[in-house]
C-alpha cells in the first residue's frame, strides 16, 4: 500500500491500472533499445535479481519513484500477489519469469493448470 500511496500522491489520473504488470511498466519506462533510460534499466535489473524480500522492497521503492516521475501506471493488485508469491518456495523464480515475459511482451504465463509451453504456432505437423 505504501508503494501505491507514493505513486498516486497528488495525481489526478489513476496510477493503479488493472492488467498493467510490472514488466510492462518497466518496458515503457526503460524505452526502446536505441534510446533506453539506463538508470531505469539498472533499477529493473536489480529488482528482478533480488534474492530477499527486503532487497526486492528496496529496489521496488526506487523503481516506483521512477514510474511516478514518468506517470506510468501499474497494477498494484497483481504486484501485491507477486510479492506474496515471491516469498513462497520457488515463488521468486515464478515472479521473475512473469516480469521478464511482461517486459518482453509475452503475455502468456503458464499456471499450474496450464503448464503446456507450446502452442499451435510452435508445433510442427507431419
Q: What does the pLDDT look like over 67-99, one tens digit per residue?
A: 999 999 999 899 999 999 999 999 999 999 999
Q: pLDDT tens across 27-81, in order?
A: 999 998 888 889 899 999 999 999 999 999 999 999 999 999 999 999 989 999 9
Give the cell for residue 100: 521478464
Domain limits for position 98: 3-7+16-104
- pLDDT of 123 strictly over 50: no
Q: Enter the pTM of the model.
A: 0.77
**Quick one: pLDDT at residue 47?**
93
Question: Is 126 within the bounds of a domain?
Answer: no
Question: Is 115 within the bounds of a domain?
Answer: no
Question: Is 124 within the bounds of a domain?
Answer: no
Residues 6+ apart with CB under 8 A from 17: 73, 74, 75
Identify the CATH number of the domain in which residue 42 sits.
1.10.520.40
- pLDDT of 3 strictly over 50: yes
Side-chain-facing half-sphere of 46: CA atoms under 13 Å: 16
Question: Is 60 within the bounds of a domain?
Answer: yes
Question: Is 34 within the bounds of a domain?
Answer: yes
Domain count, the chain: 1
Question: Is 114 within the bounds of a domain?
Answer: no
Q: Write out the DSSP string of 49-106.
A: T--SHHHHHHHHHHHHHHHHHHT--B-HHHHHHHHHHHTSTTHHHHHHHHHHHHHHT-
Amino acid at each position: 500500500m505504501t508503494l501505491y500511496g507514493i505513486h498516486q500522491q497528488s495525481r489526478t489520473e489513476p496510477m493503479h491500472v488493472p492488467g498493467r504488470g510490472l514488466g510492462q511498466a518497466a518496458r515503457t519506462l526503460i524505452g526502446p533499445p536505441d534510446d533506453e533510460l539506463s538508470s531505469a534499466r539498472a533499477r529493473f535489473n536489480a529488482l528482478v535479481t533480488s534474492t530477499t524480500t527486503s532487497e526486492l522492497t528496496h529496489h521496488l521503492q526506487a523503481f516506483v519513484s521512477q514510474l511516478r516521475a514518468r506517470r506510468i501506471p501499474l497494477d498494484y493488485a497483481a504486484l501485491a500477489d507477486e510479492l506474496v508469491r515471491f516469498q513462497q518456495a520457488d515463488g521468486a523464480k515464478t515472479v521473475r519469469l512473469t516480469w521478464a515475459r511482461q517486459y518482453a511482451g509475452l503475455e502468456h504465463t503458464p499456471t499450474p493448470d496450464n503448464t503446456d509451453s507450446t502452442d499451435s504456432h510452435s508445433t510442427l505437423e507431419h
